[in-house]
Structure 1
Amino acid sequence: MKIVILRTWLTNIGNGFIDKGAKAIVRQSFPEADIFEVSGFPNKTEEKVALGPLAGGTWRKLGDTGQKFRDHRFRTHPVRQNMVNLSEFVDADLAILPGCVLYDVGLEPYFQTLLELQARDIPIVILGAGGGDYHRETRQYVTEKLQQLDVCGLIARDTPTYEHYGDVVDVAHNGIDCAFFINEWHTPPESNQQFTVAAFDKVEEPPLQTDNRTIRPDHNPFGRSKPYQGLPRNVRDRLKNRNNFKRGNVFVSDLVTDYLFLYANTETTHSDRIHACVPTLAYGNQAKFHFDTPRGALFDNVGLSDITDRTVSLDEGIEEKKEQQVQQLRDTVDVLQNMA
């Protein structure tokens, strides 16, 4: 079996944990499969819309928060129409789209790719699926998109996703976030010193009760990635504009494994980022989530509804949930292949 994983671009380091966790799930589900990871970067690249900066317009990115991709001009813009995704060049038996993609900003950039896969009779599974929100307009948009996919399965990472969209696709399961499998993908070395992680870029970092050194990783090391501006300009802009860089012990890297070293070795992670907490928990450490978002519902599915109230850790029941997810993927693919 040949399986294509449509990665959800890596410049947001947390998405890297999702992608690699998804790969671990796929590998456990289908040990003999040939897995081909395809970058989602072409689907999320920038374009110039309106009249451009010199004529009073603005540079906008395919994927900018607030852009309504259901708007005709974004669906038909020549730059988008001219983009190529390498999944088009592979004859696969299955396509996997992982992560929090069930809202306009997450789903629309990949939708033409999904339609192209469908046209070649390749079943699609949205794995560890979640949504940015569950407002009526969002639910209507996602439902319409999923109804256009003839052979599609969904394994949700939270109960609201399963309840809203489980009946829309051909087969659905209520599961967990892909990043809970990240420890199956990579085992970092042990640290020679103790530290605490504080990863904040939405709210102010609260006072932390710790005697350890506090490391502050930045999950968007290149900002909103601009493929035509280059690394030096992006790093310069981050250093110039982000208050986080003015604090001590800031960490920035282009390697997913570097961040995983921190989360595998931290005593505790405090963060307003879900995917600072999830890998920390996956490696058996404690975390507290300091933000209110519908996306946080994924913690309910692993029994950590109180993660915003106190530091928590996973219990041994996580292994059973992971085994269930591996079997769910096998079962989903069996059904979809019989339909294709």
Structure 2
Amino acid sequence: MTNKPRVALVSGFWGQNIGNAFFNVGGKKILQEIFPEHDVDYIQDQPGYRTFHNQSKGNPKKDIGLLKYLDVKYIVLQGPMLTVNFRNLWEDTFKHLKRRGVKIILLSAAMFKHNQAEVQANREFLKQYPPEILCTRDKQTYDAFKDCCEKSYNGIDSAFFVTNAYEPFVLDIKPYITLNFDRFPEPDIHLNNPNSSTFDYSFEALNYKWSLKIPKIQNWFSKKGKWQAYIGHLLDIRKLPEQIGEYLVIRPEHRFNPHITWKVYKHPNAIASDEPFTYFTVYANTTLTLSDRVHACVATLAYGKPAMLFTPSPRSYLFDRLGLTDIRKKPVLLNKDYLEEEKKKQLEFLKHAVASR
């Protein structure tokens, strides 16, 4: 048993979205930097966050509510938590923790849909239960809630710190690109096509002219919802290539649970895992990532490789915070020196905020 003061980092639900693990791992490294004399450990998130649970009803009624009993100095929440249902899931816990003097930190915080309903609901809640520190991952969230906390910072996503936390394995494999499309369909990809104007995307990368076409039927189902997207994948009878140009194709799946095997392994060179380190290795060794998953692109960029994002999700505002506004149009690279400077400034703010408590 440790005698150090403890910091609880709320985490989990990795299986239903492994991207959660990316900012959990990066977040733990941040906290270990700013709390060197503390013991920082993971603890499972509220049960109401599981997929397809009606969050407006709060957590399951017979759940014990373990988080409110934690005997810690700090509890840290991360990610796009600021939904319209944030109060429903957290008010009872915040009430108990505040009563016992536990300090609450919102790290890499963001809204989910980035709409006015979320702004209104969460401003009221955070005014009533102000966190000790608020560090956001996009400017929109920062602007909406910066005055709800005395110590606020327009920060970056914690997943950009994974390079400080984990050194991936080197792969003895031919050069490859990573195509990670969980919900939306993988585009049809053509290289050096002279009729590129007829495609949905066109850009130059890796010494090729890329032309991409989004399958209409599959895309229609994907836009309808998560479960409807599986219908679109089921109807997808394409034989997707094992190689594009000179590059092997590797296809990660970010949703391990529920493990819909036929979907995960429908196309060649698939890979899925219920832990994040396998994915860090894949993205760190890739030549290029094309993905509809925000954190597939974050990890790729953090490890110094180019990435392009294919999703309308406003949660992608975290890229705008680092000037990567073109990531939805073409592959982009993140300047390593710029990233390191942003990470350094964020750590300095957090260390100062903790020291001045």
Pair 1:78 & 2:61 matched: yes
| SS of equivalent residue, structure 1 residue 31 | coil
Q: Residues of 1 paired with 2:12 and 2:185: CA distance?
A: 27
- Residues 10 and 142 of structure 1: CA distance in aligned 2, closer, same or farther (over 3 Å): same
The residue aligned with 2:248 is 213
1:64 aligns with one of 52, 62, 67: 52
Q: CA deviation at 1:287?
A: 0.5
Aligned-pair identity (%) = 30
Q: Residues of 2 paired with 1:289 and 1:187: CA distance?
A: 24
User: Which amino acid is the alignment partner of residue 22 of structure 2?
Assistant: F
The residue aligned with 1:239 is 261
Pair 1:96 & 2:76 matched: yes
The residue aligned with 2:47 is 44
The residue aligned with 2:257 is 222
Deviations 1:187-227 (A, max 9, x none): 0111111221111123221134542111111111012xxxx
Pair 1:176 & 2:156 matched: yes
Pair 1:20 & 2:25 matched: yes
TM-score of the aligned structures, taking structure 1 as reference length: 0.81
The count of corresponding residues between Structure 1 and Structure 2 is 296
The residue aligned with 1:200 is 181
Q: Residues of 2 paired with 1:188 and 1:110: CA distance?
A: 35
1:113 aligns with one of 93, 103, 108: 93
Task: Tell me if the contact between 2:289 and 2:307 (Cα under 8 Å) persists in the aligned partners.
Answer: yes
Q: Residues of 1 paired with 2:60 and 2:280: CA distance?
A: 38
Q: Residues of 2 paired with 1:191 and 1:155: CA distance?
A: 35
- Residues 106 and 248 of structure 1: CA distance in aligned 2, closer, same or farther (over 3 Å): farther
- Residues 192 and 63 of structure 1: CA distance in aligned 2, closer, same or farther (over 3 Å): closer
Q: Residues of 2 paired with 1:181 and 1:250: CA distance?
A: 26
- Residues 108 and 220 of structure 1: CA distance in aligned 2, closer, same or farther (over 3 Å): farther
- Residues 201 and 75 of structure 1: CA distance in aligned 2, closer, same or farther (over 3 Å): closer
The residue aligned with 2:136 is 156
Query: Which structure has the greater CA radius of gyration?
Result: 2
TM-score of the aligned structures, taking structure 2 as reference length: 0.77
Q: CA deviation at 1:139?
A: 1.2
Task: Tell me if the contact between 1:4 and 1:87 (Cα under 8 Å) persists in the aligned partners.
Answer: no
| SS of equivalent residue, structure 2 residue 326 | coil
- Residues 307 and 265 of structure 1: CA distance in aligned 2, closer, same or farther (over 3 Å): same
Q: Residues of 1 paired with 2:118 and 2:67: CA distance?
A: 29
Pair 1:297 & 2:300 matched: no
Q: Residues of 1 paired with 2:92 and 2:253: CA distance?
A: 31
- Residues 107 and 330 of structure 1: CA distance in aligned 2, closer, same or farther (over 3 Å): farther
Q: CA deviation at 1:76?
A: 7.9
User: Which amino acid is the alignment partner of residue 3 of structure 1?
Assistant: V
Q: CA deviation at 1:98?
A: 1.2
Task: Tell me if the contact between 1:9 and 1:15 (Cα under 8 Å) persists in the aligned partners.
Answer: yes
Q: CA deviation at 1:245?
A: 3.1
Q: Which 5+ residue runs of structure 1 have no aligned equivalent? A: 46-60, 224-234
User: Which amino acid is the alignment partner of residue 32 of structure 1?
Assistant: E
Q: Which 5+ residue runs of structure 2 have no aligned equivalent? A: 192-243
Q: Residues of 1 paired with 2:50 and 2:163: CA distance?
A: 32
Task: Tell me if the contact between 1:68 and 1:104 (Cα under 8 Å) persists in the aligned partners.
Answer: no
- Could you say what the CA RMSD is over the residues aligned between the two structures, in angstroms? 2.1
